[in-house]
Amino acid sequence: MARLVIVSNRVPVPARKREQQAGGLAVVLEEALKGEVLWFGWSGRRAETLIVQPAMATRGATTFATIDLSEAEYRDYYAGFSNRSLWPLLHYRTGLVAFSREEYRGYRATNGKFAEALKPLLRPDDVIWVQDYHLIPLGRALREAGITQRIGFFIHIPFPPPSVIDILPPARELITDLAAYDLTGFQTEEDRENFAGCARKFLAGKEQAHAMAASVAIPVGIDGKAFAKMAKTSRMTAESHRLKHSLVGRKLIIGADRLDYSKGLPQRFEAYSELLATHAEYREKISFLQVAPRSREDVSEYRELKKSLDRLTGKINGKYAEFDWVPLRYMTHGLSRRLLAGFFRMAAIGLVTPLRDGMNLVAMEYVAAQDEEDPGVLVLSRFAGAAASLDAALIVNPHDTSAVAEAIHQGLTMPKEERHARWLALMSRIEQDSAASWCRRFLAGLTAGATSLRAAS
């Protein structure tokens, strides 16, 4: 069997595993990978001495190879072009795009450095699978370095229509990069169609035909059974007991997201505030726990968001708190996935209301964590990729705070039979679109399609 080479910006090298947040591509891949794997990417460290020689580590059948970034590479490639241009643009937030030619040059150069460091590690029969928006040019850089192995690419975040992509000055170059892969994967059919639209707009001839034929929509998922098991055992931990004790019988509403403007946190807090304003019966009867680990603090929009959430939390708690009740518990550090699993199981409502999201695995994790006998209710944004399959959730428009408040009310008052029926429907989709099936389907496409596609070109 061919070795699989995964390339991603973040790599869950054994020593850094504890720092992982819930969700994210590292978690999906770890759950899905079988057989011999080489996982290559950034070490997460910034170094001034430029060593392109990767650091190696092994866990089971996976070898991790990581390189450091210089301060300038980190600034231009990661904090700069990836997270100040691509991230907002691909999440439809055109007003937040802060393009700089220098950062873009750094982004491409760092992709070149990844290619240079990866090349000597490759074997002739490897299958290479590049992950996410940080590494769009990597496939072409590898080809230019003489790599002929099959190379696939998967984008974990949304992909907007051509009119939005067009805003980015190097739009054509990036679409050309994507067309250089043997197979390009998207989370939803809508994302894939948007890419096909970009191929029509920016490419021509064989390149255009290849881009359109060699793109697929395959949703990422989780290992639902493993997460359910983790939730059951985590319910027994001291932390779960402490949370339960602190609730004194009140119903728990939970949210768990990186502190990112794509997650719709201010709107979610406003919706909760509206629920307390319009449904006074819930005051002192419910508790909303929002876990929002700080993220990308080198980017000013993230610091601004934190400030506004701090203010909003103060406003809501100042208005509604009693001496023995805090309506909104907001924490900006992360919890382990295991602990969150137990907390999800305890929560009557899971609030997942991003303004845009590629998929959103927390939505699936919340459902998988539920007690089959008495499941909670998922309130899910229609703008999360997960909404395409999890349509048995209460689907909301996160911009409509009154509708979100009403959905929470509907969830809190929903009869057990309906909660159970919805949960069963959600679970069957989660099991169908698992992490393992995502991996299998993509690799089957890459292996089967690549030969004929390359022969045709």
Site for ligand F6P, rule CB under 6 A: 9-10, 23-25, 132, 156-157, 295-296, 358
Q: Which two tokens stand for residue 239?
A: 């932390």
Smallest distance, Å, CB 21 to ligand F6P? 6
**What single DSSP character describes residue 224?**
H
Q: Is 357 a catalytic residue?
A: yes
| Shortest distance, position 167 Cβ to ligand F6P, whole Å | 20
Give me the catalytic one of 91, 156, 191, 257.
Answer: 156
* 450/151 Cα distance (integer angstroms): 8
User: Could you tell me how many helices (H) and strands (E) the chain has, helices first?
Assistant: 18, 14
Task: Work out how close the CB of 83 gets to ligand F6P at its nearest, in angstroms, rounded to a whole number.
Answer: 6
**Nearer CB in complex with ligand F6P: 291/349:** 291
CB-nearer residue toward ligand F6P: 320 or 438: 438
Neighbours of 59 (CB within 10 A): 14
- Cα-atom radius of gyration of the chain, to the nearest Å? 22
| CA atoms of 358 and 347, how far apart (whole Å) | 24
Does the active-site annotation cover 241?
no
Question: What is the DSSP-derived secondary structure letter of residue 225?
Answer: H
The CA distance from 359 to 427, in Å, is 16
| SS3 category, 424 | helix
H or E element: which one contains 331? strand 328-331
Q: For ligand F6P, which residue has the nearest CB? A: 24
Q: Which is nearer to ligand F6P, 297 or 400 (CB)?
A: 297
Minimum distance, C-beta of residue 157 to ligand F6P, in the bound complex (Å): 5
In the set 68, 257, 357, 433, the catalytic residue is: 357
- CA 377 – CA 426 distance, rounded (Å): 10
Residue count of the chain: 457
Nearer to ligand F6P, 113 or 156 (CB): 156
Q: Which is nearer to ligand F6P, 235 or 258 (CB)?
A: 258
- Provide CB contacts within 8 A for 83, sequence distance 6+: 296, 299
Catalytic residues: 156, 357
